[in-house]
Amino acid sequence: MSGAAPAGAAPAGAAPAGAAPGGAAPAGGAARDPRLVRLQAGGAPALVVVDVQRDFGEPSRIAPYGLDDAASAAVDAAIDRIGSLVDEARAAGVPVVWVELGSDPAAPWRSSAWLRGGDPDGPMAEDEPCVLGTSGAEWYRTTPAPGETRVVKRGYSGFLGTDLEARLTAAGIGWLTVVGLTSECCVFATAQDAMQLGWPVVVPRDATAAYDVDVHEAALTMIGLNVGVVTDADETVDLWHAAATDGAAAAAGTAGPAGVGAR
């Protein structure tokens, strides 16, 4: 989901000395961020896919947001990368969790209506995105597989008013990769809540996007400062494989992480 870019925050989460700036993937032989190295012993990972829905990704539906060519290309590329990450996660035995907006006409979001200049006590606006039961709420160019967890939210964060925290805890998930649309809004909100609830968070910069490239870069800066490590999809997959190898060795041949959807 897309919204206003977050206001400034204290630089409490600055990357440690020797790490790539902003938690980016190492380049030119640079050492991997030590925080990512520690994830190999940090428990089972999960991939959280946020709001890759028609109302937030389909070109004709997002055109009113005024994307320029660069932003349109970035959204398209991010959706492709998210789809490939979903495939990689499944192949690596990493649970995929789907977080989707479901706007309910019977329970309009008062503060969102007010923020967008509408009547906070009026009926839901006709242009409200991802209304339950409509085509705009459908997943776009990637879709949950049978048995994978789906969490329907009413606001920005996948944790707000849902059982996502309980599901991840019950499944023994140790850290999260958060991807989706858009970087400054629902991806940011979900990643921030995950971090505040105790999960280390990795955000691949090429598996999320905003409707303005400068807003996207600002969101990644905010995430890298106070929420998680910003890397890329290729390094994320490497981390999953490393976690699987270490987990298999520790479990001496027992089964890998249980799917969240089975909980």
pLDDT at 40: 85
Distances (CA, A) of 34 to 23, 41, 121, 250: 10, 12, 49, 21
pLDDT at 243: 87
H-assigned helices in 18-68: 34-38, 54-57, 59-62
| Residues with Cβ within 8 Å of residue 251, at least 6 apart in sequence | none
pLDDT at 135: 98
Distances (CA, A) of 120 to 5, 124, 128, 247: 21, 9, 13, 50
pLDDT at 12: 42
Report the alpha-carbon distance of residue 131 to residue 162 in Å, rounded: 17
H-assigned helices in the chain: 34-38, 54-57, 59-62, 69-92, 110-115, 164-170, 186-196, 213-226, 233-251
Is there a contact between 135 and 54 (Cβ–Cβ < 8 Å)?
Answer: yes
pLDDT at 244: 83
Which residues of the chain fall short of a pLDDT of 70? 1-30, 247-263
Report the alpha-carbon distance of residue 109 to residue 123 in Å, rounded: 10
Report the alpha-carbon distance of residue 201 to residue 48 in Å, rounded: 10
Distances (CA, A) of 101 to 36, 40, 64, 118, 158: 30, 31, 19, 20, 9
Q: Is 24 helix (H, G, I), strand (E, B) or coil?
A: coil
Report the alpha-carbon distance of residue 153 to residue 190 in Å, rounded: 11
Token pair listed for 55: 């109302």
pLDDT at 30: 64
Is there a contact between 94 and 241 (Cβ–Cβ < 8 Å)?
Answer: no
Q: pLDDT of 93-148, one tens digit each?
A: 999 999 999 999 999 999 999 999 999 999 999 899 999 999 999 999 999 999 99
Token pair listed for 113: 């209506």
Q: pLDDT of 177-195, one tens digit each?
A: 999 999 999 999 999 999 9
Report the alpha-carbon distance of residue 78 to residue 81 in Å, rounded: 5
Q: Is 141 helix (H, G, I), strand (E, B) or coil?
A: coil
